[in-house]
Amino acid sequence: MSSVSLPPRARVVVIGGGVIGTSIAYHFAHLGWTDTVLVERDQLTSGTTWHAAGLMVTFGSMSETSTELRRYTRDLYERLEAETGLATGFAPVGFIEVAGDEDRLEEYRRVSAFNRHCGVDVHEITPREIAELFPIADVTDLLAGFYVERDGRVNPVDCTMSMAKGARQLGVTICEGVSVERVLTERGRVCGVRTNHGDIECEFVVNCGGMWARQLGERNGVNIPNQAAEHYYLITEQVPGIGRDWPVLEDPARHGYYREEVGGLMIGLFEPVCAPWNVGEIPAGASFLDLAPDWDRMGPYVERAMSRVPISFEVGIKKFFCGPESFTPDLAPVVGPAPEIDNYFVCAGLNSIGILTGGGWGRVVAQWVTSGDPGVDVTGVHIDRLHDYQRNPEYRATRTVESLGMVYQCHYPGRSMTTARGAKRSPIHHRLVDQRACFKDVSGWEGADWYAPDGVVPEVGELTWGRPHYFDVWASEHRACREGVILMDMSFMTKFAVEGRDAGRVLERISANRVDGAPNTITYTQWLNERGTIEADLTVTKLDDERFFVVASDTAHRHALTWLRRAIAAGDHRAHVADVTSAWAQINLQGPRSRDLLRSLTHADVTDAALPYRGVADIDIGFARVRCIRITYLGELGYELYVPTEHAVHVYDRIVAVGADHGLRHAGLKALASLRMEKAYRDYGHDIDNTDSVLAAGLGFAVDLDKPDGFVGRDAVVAAKSAGPLTQRLVQVLLLEPDALLFHGEVVYGDGRPRGYLRAASYGHSLGGAVGLAMIDLGSPVTQAALDAMAWEVEVADRLLPARLSIRPLYDPTNARIIG
């Protein structure tokens, strides 16, 4: 045993002394949790942090959370020296993103509008202005640059050390040379850590183990599917005249970023096809790594990147550096409480932006652990969005090849991951292939996006900011649902069987709506936290007093399951939940002619009287028994058929055979998006999230404040109601110009002032224009009269387009088509 002396106990142990762990420890201290111990296997920064290029950039993300974290991080690095006495090396030299083609220009104009709305002071500059700021860049082919004066660069080691000093000053213990071997648990809850120098008792751990996080997680069955990959920059010999105060330049189309480094030029690379590093196991003793570069693989990318600054060819390369950084399957970090073990938090898989978001993640995670509230939208980064299969070596090796390169791709709408496909398939997948479906990745499932008619290839084809080549096909699927009947496979939906004597009680307790009423009824509801903001958005079907069926979206799978399991455990309820997602296919029949089709398929009585809206019945179709639920997410008369997986092909074949006489069409997820958006139906993680109160989300109609035993979050909802009318609310936005498209992040202006942005959007083929949902902040009550009294515009790239805003859905506001 060495001389390291560990504290026997702490409130929280932070594992890993990179920028992330150190920032979290620093922020714990500032929140008063000074009884924090940070343990680092080797020395602080010895993992990935030490060799980062130190770009500190606030521009570029279409996520409000990420942009906010970047801004916070930049401010923190700017002010830290005054607090700790240690400089962070932050130099606000500025940052320029360049666009050399029309598609990039469109993207960066969209991003800059969104970023400006989020407080980033970015503006478009001309190629001449780029050349003035970065004279050695070749700007001859450039169209524009996007310049943030206050961004710049930071020294990753110095900012980590400065945060470490700040943490120590407030009482945090930092132990270097101490490796956590496993996290200790008792009855599914963290109770300590076992290190190579003994145990520390604790209530919480935060695994910030960087590229080692997955291995450490695995020892406790915690799923952290990040994967290290080679990551490069080069440093040239001295470049005459280069200025230390020149901005950081970034040219994603040429895979490179550029900045001064000790009189030479640093050129960093994000190659489009990358190389995972050590898929099997990251060596436990690897520190301050400087890997042998793969010149053969990288050569063409290096050459292309250097061509932006031609002098780099003349001066020569001094150092070609390769270090490993960890990437995740969807290029978002892995953050938050692990579903597998209570009080086990994770912050890892930073996808090459750990320095420039590190300050922010420290703040968020520390707040999350200490209060239970992350304070920002975490739906896109939450650890529970990820699934066990994603840590399979073959999956990681295959997906990581694509993920690093995504950083610098043009982020066209409708792009789907192309690697590691086919991992999950609906039981009727092959039938949909026969129907010429074009598939996309839906949480690992192959989801039919649209169906190619004869003569059209079922491929996405060239990506574009304009109308995709299948726009008319999509429109016809949309119309088929509005006018006839469509079949839509949604077998990827999450399904739980909740059973037992207390099943109704526990579901009633966590649901804001009344879900334990009459049997054979489906109820739309939210699950709220104590703050009254939304944790899940789903349906609960009561089958009988002790049997319930819960259906949520694919992305909510593990979050909803964990929420439910923890609620059952907390109340000591006699109930259990089984994840039956794989047991049931979900085939939707939707549209005004769906009842006629159903009637031809079954002997069961499906009249309005026997099977009203929200009704549930077990019906016969062919040789199978099918759970038929009359409900819609598309805004028409319709039925969700839950079919035992083994019967799915048989039932599907019967529907298609009988459907021929009813004009049945197949419709894909493109149509789902446009149909639901016309009805303003919410999609958790896209247009509503964990920061939204159920009232601001416009879902007050699904809240039952009169339930006898209340529900989790009720007090917060009551308090919000009594505070007066909402000044912030999710509303529908319809563009009045039919040709323009909306995707996400477009800023909405009321009377010339920014009031919010589009959280999600699609094209309303029935409404005749792009349509989406935006959280609008008026500062005064958001009523329809107030909306109507204002002039509305949406900023689409560099154009302001007139729009109409509505609180009620613009399509069928009275639900006549659904109920009638």
CA dihedral (657, 662, 663, 666) positive or negative: negative
Smallest gap, in angstroms, from Cβ of residue 353 to ligand FAD? Answer: 4
What's the rounded Cα separation, in Å, for the pair 89 and 87?
A: 6
Length of the chain counted residue by residue: 820
Minimal distance, residue 41 CB to ligand FAD, in Å: 3
| Range 160-197 burial, b when 16+ CB lie within 10 A, else e | bbbbbbbbbebebbbbeebbbeebbbeeeebebbebeb
Nearer to ligand FAD, 207 or 632 (CB): 207
CB 504 within 8 A of CB 516: yes
Q: Please give the C-alpha separations between residue 794 and each of 46, 412, 747, 781, in angstroms, as whole numbers.
A: 47, 19, 6, 21
Q: Which is nearer to ligand FAD, 152 or 659 (CB)?
A: 152
In the complex with ligand FAD, the residue whose CB is nearer, 179 or 632, is: 179
For residues 611 and 639, give the distance between their C-alpha atoms in angstroms, rounded to a whole number: 10
Provide the 3-class DSSP secondary structure of residue 380: coil
Which lies closer to ligand FAD via its Cβ, residue 52 or residue 550? 52
- Residue numbers at the binding site for ligand FAD (CB under 6 A): 15-21, 39-42, 46-49, 51-55, 179-180, 208-212, 216, 231, 233, 323, 325, 348, 350, 352-356
**Shortest approach of ligand FAD to residue 295 CB, angstroms?**
16
CA nearest neighbour of 684 among 642, 730, 720, 636: 730
Closer to ligand FAD by CB, 55 or 253: give it.
55
Burial class (CB in 10 A: 0-12, 13-18, 19+), 37: buried
Q: Which is nearer to ligand FAD, 405 or 668 (CB)?
A: 405
In the complex with ligand FAD, the residue whose CB is nearer, 224 or 717, is 224
Q: Which is nearer to ligand FAD, 122 or 365 (CB)?
A: 365
Considering the complex, what minimum distance in angstroms separates the CB of residue 356 from ligand FAD?
Answer: 4
DSSP element (H, E) containing 526: strand 521-528
Q: How many angstroms separate the CA atoms of 650 and 13, rounded?
A: 54
Pairing of strands 264-269, 227-238: antiparallel
Write down the least CB distance from residue 282 to ligand FAD, Å. Answer: 8
| DSSP helix/strand/coil, 460 | coil
- What per-residue string of b and e applies to 480-491 under the rule 16 or more CB within 10 Å gives b? bbbebbbbbbbb
Question: What is the nearest approach in angstroms of ligand FAD to the Cβ of residue 685?
Answer: 24
Dihedral-angle region of residue 303 (phi above 0 means left; psi in -120 to 50 means alpha; beta otherwise): alpha
Token pair 């839509």 is at which residue?
488
Helix or strand (DSSP H, E) at 64 = helix 64-84
Give dist(CA 19, CA 45) in Å, integer.
7
Distance between CA 179 and CA 194 in Å, rounded? 9
Our CB check for ligand FAD shows the closer of 206 and 552 to be 206
Nearer to ligand FAD, 14 or 730 (CB): 14
334 vs 487 by CB, closer to ligand FAD: 334
Minimum distance, C-beta of residue 510 to ligand FAD, in the bound complex (Å): 34
**What's the Rg (C-alpha) of the chain?**
27
Q: Which of 343, 336, 16 has the alpha carbon at shortest distance from 204?
A: 343
Q: How far is the CB of 252 from ligand FAD (least distance, A)?
A: 14
- Residue 39 pairs in a beta bridge with 15, 175
Q: What is the secondary structure of 562-598 as a DSSP string? A: HHHHHHHHHTT-S-EEEE-GGGEEEEEEESTTHHHHH
Contact 282, 211 (CB under 8 A): yes
Shortest distance, position 54 Cβ to ligand FAD, whole Å: 5
* For ligand FAD, the closer CB: 3 or 722: 3
The least distance separating ligand FAD from the CB of residue 79, rounded to whole angstroms, comes to 18
For 10-119, strand residue ranges (E) read 12-15, 36-40, 55-56, 95-99
CB of 565 to ligand FAD, least distance (A): 27
Rounded to the nearest whole angstrom, what is the least distance from the CB of residue 52 to ligand FAD in the complex?
Answer: 3
The residue (of 172 and 567) whose beta carbon lies closer to ligand FAD is: 172
- Closest contact distance (angstroms) between CB of 163 and ligand FAD is 11
